Amino acid sequence: MGRKTSGSGERTARQGLRYQDRASAALAYRAILDNSLSFVALADDRAGMFDDLVLGIAGQVIGHQYKSSTKPKAIGIRRLLLGTDKAISDCAKSFKSLVNAYPGKHVTLRYVTAHFASVGDKGQFGVKDRDSKDFFRTKDQHPDWTLADWRASIWQPIIDELVDASGICEDDFERFFHRFTIEFGAPPTIDLNFNLDPAARDQVIELARAIGDLVGRDDGKTSWTRQELLDELGCSPESPRVSPRSPSPTRWRGSHGQSWRAAASSNAGMRQCWRQHRSRA
């Protein structure tokens, strides 16, 4: 049996898990509307554990890992990053892999979890009277701290553990840690992740279905430019075709020959075109 890659595992997971698709769609939708989206990558092995979504926006490449839960619980820094599986190492390797895959781009990682930072582990990682929530709060408050800054702070013991467990050199760790964010308390469902009117929410859900379809094809393609994503949802003006890979072409076919490229030139046009697609579904 062949080795299962992170991308193939992600494709299998998405057959039953839709949280990633909705979360990815919410971000992609906003980026399409504000015309900042360059590309999306899904179940891409080059993203390592951050293959839920890689978003290209205006010179940036942002890898996402989503950990949803209907029963959020407290989680500490040791369990999250320094457990038996040494997740900090996987995060660091994912960062380096994306940097190599997208040279010249500003790569960042977002680890989004429904769990919340523990306050019950005071003094358990070498820092007296401080807990995991204190550590992650400090990281949020000082995103530009160098490794020297961290080591000059009370957090030096746990930072040294993280560096050692990461498996990368100190210079690479400093760059990685600058661009690595952990976001706690994500909603258990993505529908109300940010304020949307009902029509916009329906559009995000439709886009989520399309993203799920793209991942589920398992045809070797893992990245789509903005225009390719729009083409998956409609037709280009030059050729009113629908990709033969699409499992349900009529659902996305444009009406009255209107192109996504033209409609997406403004927010109002985008929404109007999307409503026309929905009316023909």
Q: Which string of DSSP letters, residue by residue, matches 15-79?
A: TT--HHHHHHHHHHHHHHHTT-EEEEE-S-GGGGGGBSEEEEETTEEEEEEEE--SS--EE-HHH
Question: Looking only at Cα atoms, what is the longest distance across the chain?
Answer: 67
**Mean pLDDT of each 10-residue bin along the chain, 281 residues long:** 45 49 86 90 92 93 91 93 89 97 96 94 91 97 96 96 96 97 83 61 79 81 87 52 32 33 46 48 43
Give yes or no for a contact between 11 and 42, defined as CB atoms under 8 angstroms apart. no
Distance from C-alpha of 181 to C-alpha of 76, rounded to nearest angstrom: 15
Q: What pLDDT is recorded for position 210?
A: 83
Determine if residue 115 is left, alpha or beta; phi over 0 gives left, psi from -120 to 50 gives alpha, anything else beta: beta
pTM: 0.77
Question: What does DSSP assign to residue 130?
Answer: -
| Confidence (pLDDT) at 86 | 84
Q: What is the pLDDT of residue 12?
A: 40
Tokens at residue 123, please?
A: 């003094």
- The number of CA neighbours under 13 Å toward the Cβ of 93 is 13
What residues contact residue 30 under an 8 Å CB cut-off, 6+ apart? none
Separation between Cα atoms, residue 281 and residue 277, nearest integer Å: 6
Q: Quick one: which of 174, 179, 153, 161 has its CA closest to 83?
A: 161
Q: How high is the pLDDT of residue 193? A: 46
- Phi then psi for 225, rounded to 5 degrees? -70, 170
Q: Which long-range contacts (CB under 8 A, 24 or more apart) does 240-248 make?
A: 245/217, 245/219, 246/213, 247/213, 247/217, 248/213
Contacts of 115 (CB under 8 A, 6+ apart): 67, 69, 72, 73, 74, 75, 184, 185
Place of tokens 């550590």: 135
Q: Is residue 72 within 8 Å of residue 185, measured between CB atoms?
A: yes
* pLDDT computed for residue 18 by the predictor: 62
With CA atoms as reference, report the closest residue to 59 among 111, 102, 112: 102
Task: State how beta strands 223-225 and 74-75 pair.
Answer: unpaired
Helix (H, G, I), strand (E, B) or coil at 222: coil
Gap between the Cα atoms of 261 and 250, Å rounded: 18
pLDDT for res 5: 54
